[in-house]
Structure 1
Amino acid sequence: MDALARPIVPPAPYVHRQELPIWRLVLSTAKNSLGNWAESSFDALLGRRNVFGIDSLLVNDPKWVRHVLHANLHNYVKPPAMVRPVRPLAGEGVLLAEGPEWKRQRRMLAPAFTPASVGLLLPHFQAASEAMVRRLEKTPRVDLSEAFHQAALDAVLRALFSLPVDESRTGLAAIVRDYLAGPGRPNLFDGFARAEDDFGFALARRRTFRRHWFKAVDSIIAARKAAPAGATHGDLLDLLLAVRDPETGAPLSDVEIRDQCATMLLAGFETTSRLLFWCSYLLTLDPTEQARLRQEVTAFPPEKVASLEDLQHWPRLKQALCETLRLYPPVPVMLRRALGPDTIGEHEIGDGTLLWISPWVIHRHRAFWEHPTAFMPDRFAGKGQPWVSEPAFLPFSAGPRICIGASFAMAEASIVLATLLARFELSLDAARPILPVGGVTTAPDHEPLFTLERIA
């Protein structure tokens, strides 16, 4: 029986029959924010609840999601609960900027993420992928989570700075992982904070991390700038140094370049490595789909990729990556706080109302998807950019603030995964299921050893 007749359903956190009482909701969220949802959340279009005096609205209806993230964008801002864990990683970069400052940054960064600009970075992705498979050939059982993290870090360092990973930079991956698993995890103080600096005693470890992180980013930029004068590298730093505000002609300041690079490092290797891990896991559960992808990349090997158009030779690979993004969205929940009155459906919104937009819930919502918990890549067949065209598909957010690096991430992930599948057959013999854990990103609850069998 094929996958469409009996689709594969990967493990997921338990869905409760009824909404949890507040005390259990708090405990569950602290353990795993993906494990606090009730059955009704995956059926309702809108759901209202008061949590510790905070008026909260769950927004699942794509029409109202677009209203919040696009049509009435200026009435909604990221609350401290969403900003505080990310600020030490992204600084004042485009990821967290608001209002006119966000518009200015987005306008200035746009030339660096055109299809032509991303196409120039493909050789960097290929070099990082080849380096990864050479490392993996040394052992048949590997921690693919760690391998992907190093490969994605290598890819983004090459793409940003034309600098491959070396001993002085491999620690960056561990620094970020340790932060996200420790002080970077959202906590109760984040939820109750009315301003970003509230409960300052709870921010000490984050501030320490921020100093070390930005010092590391500054040193990488300095190393790249030390290259001979007049040299061009075909990397993103070249583009960032060249951009000018189309209204004032001003370049990005050193601090702005640092913060944008920090943001790109975070997005370029943390979220991409998670995407690669989850897709590989799903392919071990579905060997038939894995074989189809291998046939596709064998027919057009990764080393032949010379432009973004060449990635169209791998439609099934793209479908598998999109389905992975649906089942394991990089950002499992987006929060917005209302600045003033509004109406969403039958609900009156007041100043301070907290809106929950959860890609985790929307991507598994029973009104929007057939077999919503199943791995079915064919659901994305023939869809060029489903993160733009599909209202209930939000892996890169939506509206004007949709991730500027979406094409960068998809190209990087496609080349790394294609290179791996062209060389190895993946399997996983561990009996323990891998469960997703919600935090700043969607991470696995443990990192198993995969078995790699070399393709003859």
Structure 2
Amino acid sequence: MAVGTNSGADTGKAVPGPAGTPLLGSLLDLKSDSLGTYLRARHQHGDLVRITAGPPGMRAELYCVFSPAGVQQVLASDAARFRKDNHFYQEVRESIGNGLLTSQDEDYLRQRRLVQPLFTRRRVDGYAEAIAAETASVVSAWGEARDGIVDVSDEMTHLALRAVARILFGTDVEAAAGVVAGCFPVITDYVLRRGYSPVNVPRAWPTPGNRRAAAAMDELYGVCDGIIAARRRGGAGTGAGAPGEDLLTLLAAAKSSDDGEFDAAELRDQVLIFLLAGHETTATSLCFALHLLARHPGEQDRAREEISRVLGGRTPGAADLDRLPYLTQVLKEAMRLYPAAPVIGRKAVAATRIGEHTVPAGADVILAPWVTHRDPAYWPEPDRFDPGRFTPEAEAGRPRYAWFPFGGGPRACIGQHFSMLESVIALAMILRAYAFEAVDTEVPVAAGITLKTNGPARCRIRRLDNPQGVSA
């Protein structure tokens, strides 16, 4: 397959796909199990599949691109032809703002230029101490776990939220974390319902769902606006990196002669996106890394041996990221099997040939890391947990986009290094302190804005004879 072939010439070949039902197409399958529907579509119809969903007159056509080469076209080589103009992203914009995740064109370029200096490796490495402190607090609290059982989904969500709130807000973490934890689930559920519905009532109508979401947004916005106003008055926070250098303080100070600076509304949009993307994605990766290790004691022992050998009793820091290669492989394999963004959407703005078929202008395009990460051509026995897939030699032998949990191309996730740093530090401290055994051997999942567990992910924990493991 040629990468970067952007001729829209009709190949004459109809894009294959499931027939669905005459009335609703594949709508019910997508609603009940979208990830399974995409997997079956790829297995039965190939690397480019057309799925129809909805009643006649309101029917959506989804062009699903599953091959690494096709993903590379959409995200990188032909990225200008595939925009974030679909209905789902519009719902995210209206609820969580026009930050880096949702903005486009000059807005996006300006935001990226202002934010990029705050996400250099050196700057992000300065947050290692805050990550370790929050991890130590969670690990210490597990000593009181009832029956020695913890739900790693809930616990890692709590840890990731505390860590990103501390790094964003510094000493204002207590004011923000509780509100975020209470409001974000209401808002993201609202976005999902509207984003996947072909018809919605106006947001201004006083329906119960609209009113609940509006109240949650008002509360969340109010807390963020209050902290931002304090920063604008010169009240710098502390607690992440050097004193006064929490991320919000740095965002408020970001400016350039060409791009100006963020106003208060723009600052809030960036903060909301960082809160969402910075905690839900990392929480997913940590949850499933721990749960997979709990089900695979040999790999758990190997990871713990590396941690002990490299760290001894000291607290991990940023420099240890490169010294823990097997732990990093564990994390990458968890992100392969359970990518935090299991589905990525785009809108085709020009007809584009991908392989033997043409994606028409105006089409809704679906990329699914959940599916591409299970392509047996690149991942033998794709459902098997095997951190050895991510040795340097193995990675060099695969296409770039056979694994893309952080997206790719010009809109690749700006927080990739932060996520890896937080995850490796947290896993190292947790595994040094506790051994894990899975209670729930299977954890059902579903695609939301991020990957969601549809049930508990409980593990039985056993405190190891290692008092250093719970101190930062």
Q: Same fold (TM over 0.5)?
A: yes
Find 2:50's aligned residue among 41, 48, 51.
48
For residue 155 of structure 1, the aligned residue among 143, 146, 163 is: 163
Counterpart for residue 103 of structure 2 = 97
Gaps of 5+ in 1: 1-17
User: CA 1:350–1:199 in structure 2 vs 1: closer, same or farther (change >3 Å)?
Assistant: farther
Question: In the TM superposition, what whole-angstrom CA distance separates every residue of 1:79-103 from its partner, at most 9, and x where no partner exists?
Answer: 4332145335531101000111111
Q: 1:219 aligns with which of 211, 220, 226?
A: 226
Q: Is the 8 A contact 2:255 2:261 kept in 1?
A: yes
Query: TM-score of the superposition, structure 1-length normalised?
Result: 0.86
Paired position in structure 2 for 1:255: 265
Task: Give the TM-score, by structure 2 length.
Answer: 0.83
- 1:412-433 CA-to-partner distances (Å, cap 9, x unmatched) read 11111111111000112346x2
Q: What's the counterpart of residue 453 of structure 1? A: 462
* 2:326 corresponds to 1:316: yes
Mapped partners of 1:229, 1:147: distance in 2: 29
Contact 2:351 2:358 in 1 (8 A): yes
The 1:152/1:40 distance shift into structure 2, 3 A limit, reads: closer
Amino acid at match of 2:168: L
2:124 to 110, 113, 118: 118
Match of 2:392 among 354, 367, 382: 382
The aligned residue for residue 183 of structure 1 is 190
Indicate yes or no: 2:440 matched with 1:434: no
Q: Which moved more, 1:435-444 or 1:339-348?
A: 339-348
C-alpha distance after superposition, 1:337-384 (max 9, x if no partner): 112333222323333111111111111112222211111111001279
- Aligned residue number for residue 357 of structure 2: 347
The answer for the alignment partner of 2:247 in structure 1 is 236
Runs of 4 or more, structure 1, over 6 Å off, are 196-200, 383-386
State the distance in 2 between where 1:384 and 1:125 align: 30
Displacement of 1:54 after TM fit? 3.6
Partner Cα separation in structure 2 for residue 38 and residue 396 of structure 1: 20
Q: How does 1:23-422 map to 2 (within 5 A)?
A: 23=24, 25-42=26-43, 44-52=46-54, 53-87=59-93, 90-139=96-145, 140-163=148-171, 165-166=173-174, 169-180=177-188, 182-186=189-193, 190-192=196-198, 204=210, 205-222=212-229, 232-245=243-256, 247-248=258-259, 250-301=260-311, 303-307=314-318, 309-382=319-392, 390-422=400-432
C-alpha distance 81-228 of structure 1, shift in aligned 2 (>3 A): closer
2:347 maps to amino acid: R
Alignment-mate amino acid for residue 144 of structure 1:
V
Cα distance in 2 between the residues matched to 1:454 and 1:296: 18
Provide the C-alpha distance between the structure 2 equivalents of 1:106 and 1:361, rounded to a whole number of angstroms: 29
Contact 1:85/1:186 (<8 A) preserved: no
Greater CA deviation, 216-225 or 419-428? 216-225
Structure 1 residues 251 and 223: alpha-carbon distance in aligned structure 2, compared to 1, 3 A threshold: closer
2:13 is aligned to: none
Query: 1:86–1:184: 8 Å Cα contact kept in structure 2?
Result: yes
Q: For 2:377, what is the secondary structure of its paired residue?
A: coil
Q: CA deviation at 1:247?
A: 2.2
SS at match of 2:376: coil
Looking at structure 2, the residues matched to 448 and 454 of structure 1 have their Cα atoms a distance apart, in angstroms, of 19
CA shift digits 1:124-180 (9 cap, x unpaired): 101111111111111222222222122111111221121375376324223223443
Indicate if the aligned counterparts of 2:35 and 2:446 stay in contact, CA closer than 8 A: yes
Q: CA deviation at 1:410?
A: 0.8
- Structure 2 SS opposite 1:300: helix
* CA displacement, residues 1-33 of structure 1 (integer Å, 9 cap, x when unaligned): xxxxxxxxxxxxxxxxx9472447322322332
CA contact (8 A) 1:62 1:391 kept: yes
Assess, with a 3 A threshold, how the Cα gap between structure 1 residues 305 and 229 changes in structure 2: closer, same or farther.
Answer: closer
Q: Percent identity?
A: 29
Deviation at 1:186, TM superposition (A): 4.2
Q: Tell me if the contact between 1:88 and 1:210 (Cα under 8 Å) persists in the aligned partners.
A: no
Task: Return the alpha-carbon distance in structure 1 between the equivalents of residues 173 and 252 of structure 2.
Answer: 22
CA-to-aligned-CA distance 1:163-203 (integer Å, 9 cap, x gap): 375376324223223443x323245x64536xx99787587
Of the structure 1 ranges 441-450 and 100-109, higher mean CA displacement relative to structure 2 is found in 441-450
How many residues of Structure 1 are paired with residues of Structure 2 in the alignment?
431
**Does 2:20 align with 1:21?**
yes
Deviation at 1:264, TM superposition (A): 0.8
Q: Which amino acid aligns with 1:442?
A: L
Judged with a 3 Å threshold, the aligned counterparts in structure 2 of structure 1 residues 84 and 383 are, in CA distance, closer, same or farther, namely farther
SS in 2 for 1:96: coil
C-alpha distance after superposition, 1:31-80 (max 9, x if no partner) = 33223235351472222344444443211122222222222222222243
Between the aligned partners of 2:458 and 2:190, the Cα distance in structure 1 is: 26
Contact 1:121 1:234 in 2 (8 A): no
Residues 383, 348 of structure 1: alpha-carbon distance in 2 compared, 3 angstrom cutoff:
same
Distance 1:119 1:229, change over 3 A: closer
| CA-CA distance at 1:385 after TM superposition | 8.9
Query: What SS class does the counterpart of residue 379 from structure 2 fall into?
Result: coil
C-alpha contact (below 8 Å) 2:63/2:365 kept by paired residues: yes
The aligned amino acid for 1:235 is D
Any idea what SS the aligned residue of 2:347 has? strand
Q: Residue 152 of structure 2 contacts residue 291 of structure 2 at CA under 8 Å; is this kept in 1?
A: no
